[in-house]
Amino acid sequence: MTAIPFATAPSLRSNRRWALIAAYACLGIFVIFFLFPPYYMLVTSLKTNAEIAELASNPWIVTDGVTFGHYEHLLTESSFPRFFLNTTIVTVIVVAITMVISVLAAYSLARLRFWGSGVLATGVFLTYLVPDTLLFIPLFKIVGWLGLLDTYWSLILVYPTLTVPFCTWIMIGYFGSIPRELDEAALIDGANHLQMLLKVFIPVALPGLIAATIFAFTVSWANFLYPLAYIYSESEMVLTVGTVTTLIKGDVFHWGGLMAGALLAAAPPVILYAFLMDYYIAGLTSGATKG
Amino acid sequence: MRVLPPLLRRKPAVAVLMCVPLFALILGLVAYPFFHALFLATLNKAETAFVGLDNFTFLFGRQTFWMVVRQSLLFALVAVVFKALIGLAAAHAINTIPTKGQRKWRGMMLIPWVIPPALSTLGWWWLFEPTYSAINWGLTKFALPAVPWLSDTFWARFSIILVNVWVGAPFFLIMYLAALKSIPGELYEAADMDGAGPWQKFFYITLPMIRNIIAITTLFSIIVTLANFDIVRVLTQGGPLNSTHLFATYAFRVGIESGDIPLGAAVSLFMFPMLAILAFIILRNVRRRAASLA
């Protein structure tokens, strides 16, 4: 009540300065916490087996010369390229299926009302909240009945249950925010549904489409439970399960190769995010932060 | 005035047709498996006879099962609290620094969330390796005792939570950062005029403004954390002595590895009531926000 009016200006500036210092200190600690495991994986993947096995030297740096032997071995003498190919096939097909199903449904649910469409939209949201771990056992039976056990087609069948609900949900949001004047103009020009979707909705909602694609890609690339439960042959495995189960041989752990495999397998999503992060974050947060 | 061609708004047939693939997917691969799980859970191990609720009463009589229940709840609650706190602190720190550098810091901190968890957990596993643990190497350099990360019950539980927090905190960071950015700057300017300190601004402006997003993000994260599988599976496989099993890893052990599919289905189904309650609260929250927008 007494000195505040006079103290405000300088104390504000020093407050601001301290806030900045505290913020940078905080960020520094968090970045170390978030980045030291991948850093250590990288360091390990570049060490020779002899250096990995040796206990005396500092494990956090490469002291004995950098080697790319683990990567070379992985790419030329292991099933890793096969895993990579399988993962790519599964992911591309799942992303394609997901986008077709969700864009069609989102267009219909956002613009054309029909009896039960509200219930279906709610159902989509609830399905999004169903985790993969709830239904993997009954799906195991279904995959078995369809004769898809131990093939990566089982993943192509079940992954859409994880990708489609969220993609439909965000596409409903993006389509819903398109002004109605735009489709009315197209209607007057005599456009049909397909033209409307392809020429108006998809181009206008492209950022949403990119966000949905990244989501579907990430989920199909990263899932671990379904391939672990449904696939046993090395020739059908995808990266996550292949890396975790086959690169660990017997009782000798090939840590260098294991870390190299994990890093290479993680590279595609990391690279994708490096370029398209902003779209994805916009898609992810648009629903939650409006209003 | 021109009348619109009766094409769009009056053609429910086309609208329904476009939803058929989605409807088929939800019905065939989500709803049907759910009811099939209920059916499976009432069968004996060979799936030849109906045994009613025997699988459930069997689980209720097992100490291991109760340990799984306790561990799942403990894991989810502790991990979510720390994810929320770290996410909030990091988002607040990023929002404090000049806009120019924010993208770079945010990008670096999102890396744990971008790497498939099964793969990054392999890195943690190597960090926790009993003989070679690089973390223990660091601890002994500071004259601290080496930690039995994965072989001791307490530390194994600690490690699982640590890795989950590491993977999940960036998600909170993103949501909170977006929420912080949606707060109008005038509110803080007005508070400055009134001589409010940083803590007052945080508790009287920031928190109330982003309360809703904190709630939705937290509820959502409880679902994902409760249903977690990858981390426990790679790091401890449920050990030592089943002390780190969650519903999902225990269901996998019982249902897929030991081949007792009905019992595994029963274990999985225990997640359902919890998930349903959380989903109901989220849905109400989302609906209310949608209504306030319209």
Q: What is the distance between the terminal CA atoms of chain B, rounded to a whole angstrom?
A: 28
Subunit contact B268:A141, Cβ cutoff 8 A: no
What chain B residue is nearest to A160 in terms of C-alpha separation?
Answer: B25
Q: Following DSSP, what letter does each residue of B125-138 receive, concatenated?
A: HHHT-TTT-HHHHH
> Of the candidates B229, B257, B262, B217, which has an alpha carbon nearest to the alpha carbon of residue B68?
B229
For the cut 50, the answer to whether the pLDDT of residue A289 exceeds it is no
What chain B residue is nearest to A186 in terms of C-alpha separation?
Answer: B4
Q: Following DSSP, what letter does each residue of B76-120 receive, concatenated?
A: HHHHHHHHHHHHHHHHHHHHHS-HHHHHHHHHHHTHHHHS-HHHH
Tell which of B30, B88, B233 to mutate to test the A interface (max A CBs under 10 Å). B30
* Nearest CA-CA distance, residue B20 and chain A, Å: 8
Inform me whether the C-beta atom of residue B143 falls under 8 Å from chain A C-beta atoms. Answer: no
Question: Quick check: A216 and A94 in contact, CB under 8 A?
Answer: yes
* ω into B240 cis (within 30 of 0): yes
Subunit contact B2:A115, Cβ cutoff 8 A: no
Of 3.40.1670.10, 3.40.50.920, 3.40.50.960, 1.10.3720.10, which CATH number belongs to B56-293? 1.10.3720.10
Contact list in A for residue B23 (CB cut-off 8 A) is 120
List all residues 6 or more positions away from A32 whose beta carbon is below 8 Å from its beta carbon. none
> What is the residue extent of each domain of chain B?
1-40, 56-293
Q: Which residue has the tokens 């735009």?
A: A182
What pLDDT is recorded for position A122? 87
A20-62 pLDDT per residue, tens: 999 999 999 999 999 999 999 999 999 988 888 888 888 899 8
Map residue A131 onto helix, strand or coil. coil
Question: Quick check: B227 and B275 in contact, CB under 8 A?
Answer: yes
In which element (H, E) is residue A286 found? helix A255-289
Question: Quick check: A95 and A164 in contact, CB under 8 A?
Answer: no
Q: Which two tokens stand for residue B35?
A: 């009811």
Question: Quick check: A180 and A121 in contact, CB under 8 A?
Answer: no
List all residues 6 or more positions away from A125 whose beta carbon is below 8 Å from its beta carbon. A165, A169, B283, B286
Q: Following DSSP, what letter does each residue of A179-214 receive, concatenated?
A: -HHHHHHHHHTT--HHHIIIIIIHHHTHHHHHHHHH
Map residue A3 onto helix, strand or coil. coil
State which amino acid sits at residue B185: G
A171-188 pLDDT per residue, tens: 998 998 888 888 888 888
What pLDDT is recorded for position B3? 47
Subunit contact B124:A31, Cβ cutoff 8 A: no
Question: Quick check: A221 and A269 in contact, CB under 8 A?
Answer: yes
Rounding to the nearest 10 degrees, give the CA dihedral for residues A209, A211, A217, A223: -130
Contact list in A for residue B260 (CB cut-off 8 A) is none
A270-280 pLDDT per residue, tens: 999 988 888 88
Subunit contact A108:B15, Cβ cutoff 8 A: yes
Contact list in B for residue A131 (CB cut-off 8 A) is 223-224, 227, 248, 271, 275
Please name the member of A112, A135, A274 whose beta carbon is closest to the beta carbon of B33. A135
Tell which of B14, B55, B122, B285 to mutate to test the A interface (max A CBs under 10 Å). B122
Please name the member of B109, B123, B275 whose beta carbon is closest to the beta carbon of A30. B109
Q: Following DSSP, what letter does each residue of B18-80 receive, concatenated?
A: HHHHHHHHHIIIIIHHHHHHHHHTTB-TTS-SB-TTHHHHHHHT-HHHHHHHHHHHHHHHHHH
What pLDDT is recorded for position A11? 66
Please name the member of B25, B94, B256 whose beta carbon is closest to the beta carbon of A164. B25
The rounded mean pLDDT for chain A is: 88
Subunit contact A30:B12, Cβ cutoff 8 A: no
Contact list in A for residue B107 (CB cut-off 8 A) is 274, 277
Subunit contact B119:A262, Cβ cutoff 8 A: yes
Range of lowest pLDDT (A94-98, A132-136, A235-239, B197-201): B197-201
Return averaged pLDDT per consecutive 10 residues of chain B, 294 residues in all: 48 83 95 95 91 92 94 96 95 92 92 95 93 90 90 95 96 92 88 85 88 88 94 92 94 94 94 92 78 57
Contact list in B for residue A253 (CB cut-off 8 A) is 129
> Of the candidates B171, B261, B264, B267, which has an alpha carbon nearest to the alpha carbon of residue B220?
B171
Subunit contact B223:A59, Cβ cutoff 8 A: no
Subunit contact B116:A222, Cβ cutoff 8 A: yes
Inform me whether the C-beta atom of residue B185 falls under 8 Å from chain A C-beta atoms. Answer: no
What pLDDT is recorded for position A55? 82
A193-205 pLDDT per residue, tens: 888 888 889 999 9
Inform me whether the C-beta atom of residue B33 falls under 8 Å from chain A C-beta atoms. Answer: yes
CB pairs A-B closer than 8 Å:
309
As separate numbers, helices (DSSP H) first and strands (DSSP E) second, chain A gives 15, 0
Subunit contact A291:B34, Cβ cutoff 8 A: no
> Of the candidates A58, A91, A258, which has an alpha carbon nearest to the alpha carbon of residue B138?
A58
What pLDDT is recorded for position A3? 44
Subunit contact A139:B4, Cβ cutoff 8 A: no
Q: Quote the CA–CA distance of B193 and B205 in Å, as a whole number.
A: 14
For the cut 90, the answer to whether the pLDDT of residue A140 exceeds it is yes
Q: Quote the CA–CA distance of B141 and B128 in Å, as a whole number.
A: 16
* Nearest CA-CA distance, residue A271 and chain B, Å: 9
For the cut 90, the answer to whether the pLDDT of residue A4 exceeds it is no
Q: Which residue has the tokens 């759910």?
A: B34
List all residues 6 or more positions away from B18 whose beta carbon is below 8 Å from its beta carbon. A104, A105, A107, A108, A112, A193
CB atoms within 10 A of CB B281: 14
* Nearest CA-CA distance, residue B220 and chain A, Å: 8
Confidence of residue A248 (pLDDT cuts 50, 70, 90): confident
> Of the candidates A75, A82, A79, A47, which has an alpha carbon nearest to the alpha carbon of residue A61?
A47
Residues of B (102-141) whose Cβ lies below 8 Å from A:
105, 107-112, 114-120, 122-124, 126-127, 129, 131-132, 134, 137-138
What pLDDT is recorded for position A6? 45
Confidence of residue A249 (pLDDT cuts 50, 70, 90): low
What pLDDT is recorded for position A287? 56
Q: Quote the CA–CA distance of B121 and B18 in Å, as a whole number.
A: 40
